[in-house]
Structure 1
Amino acid sequence: MREPNIRPVRLSAFDLLGLGLLGIRTRKTRAALSALGIAIGIATMIAVTGIPASSQAQLVRELSALGTNMLQATATPDQTPPVLLPKESVGMVRRIAPVTGVSAVANTHTLVRRSDLTDPEDGSGLTVLASHFDLLPVIGAHLQQGSWLTSVTAAFPTVVLGTVAATRLGVTDVHTGDSPGQVMIGDRWFTVVGILAAVPLLPDIDRSVLVGWPAAQSELGFDGHPTKLYIRTHEPAIEAVRAVLPETVNPEQPADVLVSQPSEALAAKRATENTFSSLFLALAAVALLVGGIGVANTMVISVLERRSEIGLRRALGANRGQIRGQFLTESVALAALGGIAGTLLGLCATAGYADYRGWPLVVPLSSTLAGLGGAVLVGVVAGVYPSMRAASLPPTEALASV
């Protein structure tokens, strides 16, 4: 009589996972110590990429505050006759696609005095500038006291003082009500409505008295031609914007337009962004390798200790592929648990240190995914030899150890 062709039952993924976790559940201390090696490697990888990334983000933020994306355009000085920038130059520059903000000031060539009793020729080294309403956000300036010029106040004789100008003119407070502070520009009194905080990037603004564009035209005889344009751009396009600014600002006389060089802080920022901590990553890789060796060692010992279990399963019909899958699954699960624990540990360490230093928390997603992926890869590599060794054990030899 012919024997029936009996095929071994195929294990489902759920059953295979249950068998793989069996060794971890029964040998918890050893599994925890093995996973700890992986966890330390992954935590190190995340920490040594997350902490420098957070530090870099803080440095980039500080460098960005130094005006890395700002350009200035002025007319060539000391020309006869003087070169005037077109009145439409601000609007024309605003049409450049990478430009995010543009504003302008203009020298009114008038003197400012504390009162009509001081020397009419003594302007205290200050400059009276006509200003657009959107100047402050473009140059990154802030008010120390009072308010900025509005469409209403800019039409009247009102001024905002730079911090140095306020000190030299003896204006320490912005008074409201019946006795507001006043300064004399030319032969007209102007009411002080605000005082700017210091603008480290633009000391000229600190020494300026800012008048609204409409009031400068009506009260001081200003002709409406801007003297200096401040341009904010998308940082990667700053060189391209600089190249087209002269023709855009003054199409008829582009050679008479001077455009500032990009800030040196931009080069420093770009150098910072390109810095890569290869040494730290190498240390993390070594820690991960050591953890992988620990997992492999644990799996080899597990195979030796569980020879009777392997022999019994083989005698009950398990084939070599199922034995191999069981131990490979156990190795991957062990490494994955270590990877998850290491990821959480690394994130907590990075978050704690960043919070302590007052940095923004930045953890590169690539390093997190690489850590988890590396843990699984280590589990696969570490489990190949033990799983193959377990599968190659003859059932009789394995059962002989019972």
Structure 2
Amino acid sequence: MAGSGDVVKLKPHKLSARDLIRVGGVGLRNRPLRAFLSALGIGIGIAAMLAVVGISFSGRADLDRTLDQLGTNLLTVAAGKDSDGHTVSFPEPALPMIKRVGPVLSASGVTRLPDDVNVYRHEYIAKARTSGIVVYSVDNDLPSVVGATMAGGGWFNAATARYPAVVLGSSAAKRLGITTVRSNVVIQLGGRAFSIIGILNPVPLAADLDSAALIGQAAAADYLGITSGKTTIYVRSAERQVEAVREVLAATANPAQPYHVQVSRPSDALAAKLATDRAFNAVLLGLGAVALLVGGIGVANTMVISVLERRSEIGLRRSLGATRRHIRMQFLTESVLLAALGGVGGVVLGAAVTFAYALSQSWPPTVPLWAAGGGIAITVAVGALAGIYPAARAARLSPTVALAAP
């Protein structure tokens, strides 16, 4: 038992997590507008970064969905050009020989007609004015090979391929001002009237067809007198054998001049486009990081001002037994809570922006959980860093000086 002259030292009470949150939230509740504006800076940074990640992942999901539908096993074999810059057509046996390659599942070819075979809406347009629409004669099985679908009308069959009928690519139809297929709509193609029997949807893996007018091989011979060989051949191969098929296509299509043949994989171009988009997204992420840094500085500024304004409160708490550690943890918790509120709000805002943009582009909205969780974790870390100095400054105030403050 302690004597009358002994000094009894009381062990400081430890604040529980619940107590810390309750005490730390006092400053936010007492200054709601300032807290909101400070949290807004953090929220904008997190929203920007999450929206960039979400939109990028949504675009990637749309690309994956497109490639799943169209396949990644399409190869394009394009003929080279002569010294005058004119496209040299493949030898007549090129297409049959390609079809005989073991892993090849299907193949179809098109012939690019000479540039002087122009397309006009009607015969009253001056011949010097062209819309830049390319004309191809095509095989009847082309849509099944390239994954083309019809926006209106129909594709060639054994009968229509022999008559003056034309199918327009999506961009070509827009240039000609034709939106629907009607029986009385004709265009001038190579000086002859051709009836429009169909309009294609955009063809992602054969984009050249979008700005083209397509006619049957027999019609090209009978009405335009053009019987040239194929200039482009589209090939579908077994998925696991794409690279092997790619290696032999040039020599198979043109054994005499394989070095003039260009073999490409259209899906690689789509993947490259996505890589370019990701590089642009990295720039946007950098801007989001700057916004987050500015928000963190705003939180630190708010907490420093809060310490100056609440010196009497700090002095009173110290007089009632609060330790330096208690004061430090109070202001550090307040800073973390302030940043966390901004982080949660930023995640919600970023997810909303992602969903709105993805739906407007008909993409599947995708917000990675790691990005949302990481965004909140980053804000908590920023809040903790921003609160270290103000919390330390508050803890250094002595009770007498703090109580004497006006």
TM range (shorter): 0.5 to 0.7
- 2:146 counterpart of 1:139: yes
Q: Which residue of 2 aligns with 1:166?
A: 165
Over aligned residues, Cα RMSD in angstroms? 5.3
Contact 2:76 2:265 in 1 (8 A): no
State the one-letter code of the partner of 1:28.
P
Question: What's the secondary structure of 2:97's corresponding residue?
Answer: coil
The residue type equivalent to 1:207 in the other structure is: I
State the AA in 2 paired with 1:85.
M
Deviation at 1:352, TM superposition (A): 4.3
The correspondence for 1:85, drawn from 90, 93, 97, is 97
Distance 2:46 2:145 in 1: 44
**Alpha-carbon offset, residue 6 of structure 1:** 3.9
Q: TM-score, normalised by structure 2?
A: 0.58
Aligned equivalents of 1:126 and 1:293: distance in 2?
A: 62
Change (3 A) 1:274 1:354: closer
Measured after TM superposition, the shift of residue 58 of structure 1 is 7.9
Q: Deviations over 1:54-108 (max 9, x none)?
A: 67888999999999862146999548x999538764xx416xxxxxxx324599x
User: Compared with structure 1, are the counterparts of its residues 205 and 305 closer, same or farther at alpha carbon in structure 2 (3 Å cutoff)?
Assistant: closer
- Report the CA distance shift for 1:367/1:283 in structure 2 as closer, same or farther (over 3 A): same
Matching residue of 2:331: 327
Rounded to whole Å, the distance in 2 between the matches of 1:140 and 1:163 is 23
Match status 1:260 vs 2:263: yes
Contact kept, 8 Å, 2:314 with 2:402, in 1: the verdict is: yes
**Percent identity of paired positions between Structure 1 and Structure 2:** 43
1:207 to 2:215 alignment: yes
In the alignment, which residue of structure 1 is the partner of 2:236? 231
**Pairs within 5 Å for 1:1-400:** 1-2=1-2, 6-47=10-51, 70-72=74-76, 78=91, 85=97, 89=101, 92-93=102-103, 102-105=105-108, 136-143=143-150, 144-145=152-153, 159=158, 161=160, 166-167=165-166, 197-198=199-200, 201=208, 206-208=214-216, 230-231=235-236, 240-244=243-247, 260-263=263-266, 265-266=269-270, 269=273, 272-352=276-356, 358=361, 360=363, 365=368, 368-400=372-404
Summarize the Cα distance change of 1:106–1:71 in structure 2 as closer, same or farther, 3 Å threshold: closer
Change (3 A) 1:130 1:23: closer
Under a length normalisation based on structure 1, what TM-score does the superposition of the two structures give?
A: 0.59
CA deviation profile, 1:226-263 (whole Å, cap 9, x unmatched): x96621687xx99735545559x99xxxx89x773334
Structure 1 alignment gaps of length 5 or more: 95-101, 108-124, 149-157, 174-194, 211-226
| In structure 1, C-alpha distance between the alignment counterparts of 2:36 and 2:139, rounded to whole Å | 71
Q: Could you tell me which amino acid in structure 2 is paired with residue 93 of structure 1?
A: P
Aligned CA distance change for structure 1 residues 391 and 128 (closer, same or farther; 3 Å): closer
Aligned with 1:207: secondary structure? strand
8 Å contact 1:159–1:209 — kept in the other structure? Answer: no
Task: Sort the Cα spacing of 1:74 and 1:309 in 2 relative to 1 into closer, same or farther, 3 A.
Answer: closer
- In the alignment, the residues of structure 2 paired with residue 395 and residue 147 of structure 1 have an alpha-carbon distance, to the nearest angstrom, of 88
The total of aligned residue pairs comes to 321
Aligned-residue offset at 1:139:
1.4
Structure 2: stretches of 5+ with no match in the other structure = 80-88, 111-134, 168-181, 184-196, 219-231
Residues 205 and 294 (structure 1), Cα distance of their counterparts in 2 relative to 1, 3 Å cut: closer
